[in-house]
A and B are shown apart, each in its own frame.
Chain A
Amino acid sequence: MKFRVVLAFVAMLVLLAAAFAIGSYRVYLDERLQVELALSSLGDVLVARIEMGHNLLTVARRHLAAEDSLLRAVQEDIRLLDQADTLKDIASANEKLALDSKALLKKLEGLDSVQQDARDLRYVTGLLPRGFEQSAQWADAKQYNAAAGAFNQRLHYTLNGKVASLLGVEDAELFGAEGGAR
């Protein structure tokens, strides 16, 4: 009789543990998929950055030689952002595009030819910087990194996270320098 009670208690514990492990794995896998979905949406939004890069190049080509180093740098950033395979390369191209486009806009603003062209001056000082700002706001990787970072924290510092990790749920990849630092 006593053996039966002990057996029942052990069986209860085993079943609870199994249910807990399966539940943890399932929930963390779902969470991981949700983080991946957010990353894929970020990829869609990054198209806005590429479009803004093309717009800037259109104006820049009217005022600068094709060999201009900044113009070529922006061209290369757009190419990388469009074609890069790894998250690290995409993030680095995006960050570089932000810096190079700012520098190119500044250079264009200082050109006499732009100053004498009311339309292009309006683009260089108004519409294009606003467009870049808007696209950066849309493609704010910090939001994604915060979500991915929080997921990784939970995966490593909670009991069910550790169980899920043991069962094969992997860390979420971070985007950009913030991700590289971790």
Chain B
Amino acid sequence: MKRFAALLLCAFLLLAGAAPARAMEDAVEDLAYVLSPDLVSRVRQLDDWLHNSLGLRLHIITRDFLGGTDAQVYVDELLAFKHGEGSIIFLMVIGEERYALALGSKAATMVDGNRAEKLLNDVFREPFLKARDYDRALAAFLVGLAMRLETDNNITLHLDPVLLSMAGMSEEVLAKATAAPAEESSWLDSIFGNAFEMEDHARRYEADVYEAARPERGRLSLFQIALIGFILYKIFGKKRKGRGGCGPLSWIFGTWGLAKFFGWRK
């Protein structure tokens, strides 16, 4: 029974530990709240398809600011530390009007970086910067990217008509829902380079200040008093041949009392 309970606990802890990792691997992290839920669900579908057919993973991030960090450096670091070889990371920094793409080593063999940049210039840049139609900009880029992958890898892809419509490639009219806050995200995530790290620093600062504000009195501990008493007994204590007694104790208690008298005791 105990073994079963331990196993259950282990399984629970493993699942709990895996939860943030799963969240991190989510295809869309819309921290700036600019993407419609329709597009987000289509991107997730596209990500599933890319993963199942080509082993690639999409990771789209929107943020308001990066706090002075270069967008390309940010995605490159993200790719290096948190994502795998098949990752395609695309970052849109809304408040800074910048964007950046990073490809994992496996993804780079399937998606030509120069072609991807050209695609961004051709279909993404204008709606992103001028019209500020972030849905259309992203949908157009992803549709273009998916078509390129389809051609280059000789696979058949049935693109979602809603995604095509969002990309401005079909006549279907859509009623757009408003962007919803991403789960478990905070507005801080969207404006600081690394809000998690900042919050961690702030917590540490608070803890350090709390510790610094707690005075440790420089008084003698019981151990120090006992040690002094024992040393004194060893030097000055009367030798009692053949008798027991509490010789060292009287010295220790004497030191203890004297320390109290001078206010040196803890």
Report A's interface with B, CB cutoff 8 A. Answer: 4, 7-8, 11-13, 15-16, 19-20, 23-28, 30-31, 34-35, 37-38, 40-42, 44-45, 47-48, 50-55, 58-59, 119, 123, 127-128, 130-131, 134, 138-139, 143-144, 146-148, 150-151, 154, 159-161, 163-164
Contact = CB atoms under 8 A, between A and B. Distances in A.
Nearest to A53: B68
Contact of B64 (A28, A47, A127, A154): A127
Contacts of A41: 201, 204-205, 208-209
Contact of A123 (B64, B67, B219): B64
B220 to A, nearest CB: 6
A123 B95 contact: yes
Interface string B202-240: 101110110111011111110010001001100110000
A146 to B, nearest CB: 7
Nearest to A40: B208
A12 to B, nearest CB: 5
Contacts of B74: none
B255 interface: yes
A interface: dominant SS: helix
19 contacts: A7-B236, A11-B236, A23-B220, A27-B217, A30-B216, A34-B208, A37-B208, A37-B211, A40-B208, A41-B209, A45-B205, A50-B67, A52-B67, A55-B64, A119-B94, A134-B188, A138-B201, A143-B206, A151-B212
B65 interface: yes
Contacts of B208: 34, 37-38, 40-41
A124 to B, nearest CB: 11
A42 B117 CA distance: 41
- Among A52, A58, A128, max chain B CB count under 10 A is at A58
B196 interface: no
Given A7-B236, A52-B191, A20 B258 contact: no
Interface string B134-168: 00000000000000000000000000000000000
B126 interface: no
B215 A31 contact: yes
Contact of B198 (A45, A150, A154): A45
Interface of B: 64-65, 67-68, 94-96, 132, 187-188, 190-193, 198-199, 201-202, 204-206, 208-209, 211-213, 215-221, 224, 228, 231-232, 235-236, 254-255, 258-259, 262-264
Nearest to B227: A19
Contacts of B213: 146-147, 150
A51 B67 contact: yes
